[in-house]
Amino acid sequence: MSEEKKRGLLVVISGPSGVGKTTIARQLESRCRGEFSVSATTRPKTPADVEGRDYYFLTEEDFRGRVERGEMLEHAQVFGKYWYGTPREPVERALREGRLIILEIDVQGGVQVRSRYPRKPGGESEAFMIFIEPPGEGALLERLRGRGRDSEEAIQRRFSEAKREIEMAHASGAYDLFVMNDELDDAIDQVCKAVEKRRQGSTIAD
């Protein structure tokens, strides 16, 4: 096997709230022997948090410094308050060591990652970008309500955000594969098979 084949793969999974992307990402981790990238944040550490497992907890000054030095693959401020981002060095190390690293982020972050790992002339990249989408707007709204933890106002806000995120994902050109989560097991199988084919150097059919 060539050195190029031994290079690892960064799998980015995005999708709107309620679409099941976390469940799919966890199954990918288990089935394909992957590992999740640990994010950094400026939010306060809670008693339940474990440094380096849940997040890397940084001061805002430290976080901004890392962004300025190009040490973050992607970053965003959530609700105008705390910053979240993906440290670049652990991802680069995983790729050098031939590992499968999984990153679950929103479309804004996905676009930033694509800019860091652009497609080569043949269409390949060290980042394989997957977007999980619902079978329709009605199904998404039903899933958001089915979680039973938000007010109707919050549900409608998440629903509007989800529609914008889906539109942005398609318009951005950043994603390699769109998977419709109609039946969860089928969506999991599709994602896992696509990742395995990508690692083997096969082309994913449209």
Q: Is residue 56 one of the residues assigned to a domain?
A: yes
Host H or E run for residue 103? strand 100-104
Q: Is residue 101 one of the residues assigned to a domain?
A: yes
Nearest to 22 by CA among 161, 150, 147, 201: 147
Q: How many residues does the chain have?
A: 206
Q: pLDDT tens for residues 4-24?
A: 445 799 999 999 887 889 999
The first and second tokens of residue 34, run together, are: 């992957």
Query: Tell me, what CATH number does 75's domain have?
Result: 3.40.50.300
Interaxial angle between packed helices 107-116 and 152-172, expressed in degrees from 0 to 180 and rounded to the nearest 10: 20
Beta strand pairing call for 127-133 and 177-180 = parallel
Q: Is residue 34 one of the residues assigned to a domain?
A: yes
Residue 47 DSSP class: T
Q: Is residue 57 one of the residues assigned to a domain?
A: yes
Q: Is residue 111 one of the residues assigned to a domain?
A: yes
pLDDT at 136: 84
Residue 204 pLDDT more than 60? no
Q: Is residue 205 one of the residues assigned to a domain?
A: no
pTM: 0.86
State the virtual CA torsion across 85, 81, 16, 46 in degrees, nearest 10: 70
Full domain range(s) for residue 93: 3-199
Q: pLDDT tens for residues 52-64?
A: 888 999 999 999 9
Residue 134 pLDDT more than 60? yes
Q: Is residue 206 one of the residues assigned to a domain?
A: no
Q: pLDDT tens for residues 77-110?
A: 887 889 999 999 999 999 999 999 999 999 999 9
State the chain's maximal CA–CA distance in angstroms: 54
More confident residue, 65 or 123: 65
Q: Is residue 204 one of the residues assigned to a domain?
A: no
DSSP helix/strand/coil, 188: helix
> How many helices (H) and strands (E) would you count in the chain?
8, 9
If one counts the domains in the chain, the total is 1
